[in-house]
Amino acid sequence: MTKGEKKLAFAKIPVRTHIVTDKDDAVELARRYSRGVARPGDVICLAESVVAITQRRAILPEEVKPGRLARFLCRFPGKDGSLATPPAMQLALEEVGTGRLLAGCAAAALGRLIKKKGLFYIVAGRQLALIDDIAGTMYPYERHIVMGPKNPGQLVRDIKKATGAEAVIADVNDKKCVDILGITDRSYLPAVVEALRDNPFGNEDEQTPIVILKRQ
């Protein structure tokens, strides 16, 4: 533990919500579903996919018109990769620009030579790692490509202002990988990562895209 980090323990409360759509507002969702539960010192955690949905960043593949470059580049990621289809690759090009994405491809090629993974996202942009290509997000977005959320840092500050609790936006998967996109108090970071490692969010029947961490 580094200086300034807090040794904390949390009880986890997954919160079932209504079906969230692009008509919802992420700050209002956090305020509504944490009322009477989260207090100052607790942490309201939102799954990045549901935040992206409220920002209208869930897009049907048929609404995307891939260009020749997207159709060419999508051949190179692994078949299970999030950029392995022409629509997803086209959205990636639009997200960061052609030059930066091609620079990422060059970095990835170099990485293969020197046996170092992850250079594509380091160069092309972390936000491309957040793209979920038809990833089984909550109904009615299970067929959509979901982009990463915009301005997560500002959003968590807005949630804290509205609720009084700390706030986090996180990308978590069932492989115990936790990526914190926005957090109001960085001294909470190690404890929040550990609390979310078992992925208490639920995008399917659980319908729990909000998790409240209660300080113990």
The pLDDT tens digits of the residues spanning 45-66 come to 999 999 999 999 999 999 999 9
Is residue 5 domain-resident?
Answer: no
> What pLDDT, on a 0 to 100 scale, did the predictor assign at position 124?
94
Residue 6 makes CB contacts below 8 A (sequence gap 6+) with 187, 188, 191
| Domain boundary residue, one of 137, 171, 192 | 137
Residue 197 makes CB contacts below 8 A (sequence gap 6+) with 172, 176, 178
Is residue 143 domain-resident?
Answer: no
| Domain boundary residue, one of 82, 114, 137 | 137
Is residue 21 domain-resident?
Answer: yes
Cα 140 to Cα 107: distance, rounded to the nearest angstrom: 36
Does one domain contain both 67 and 132? yes
Angle at CA 129, nearest 5°, toward 150 and 72? 110
Domain that holds residue 181: 10-57+148-215
φ, ψ at 205 (rounded to 5°): -65, -25
Among 194, 197, 192, 187, residue whose Cα is nearest residue 212: 192
Is residue 37 domain-resident?
Answer: yes
Does one domain contain both 158 and 128? no
Please list the ranges in the chain whose pLDDT falls under 50.
none
CATH of the domain at 26: 3.30.1330.100
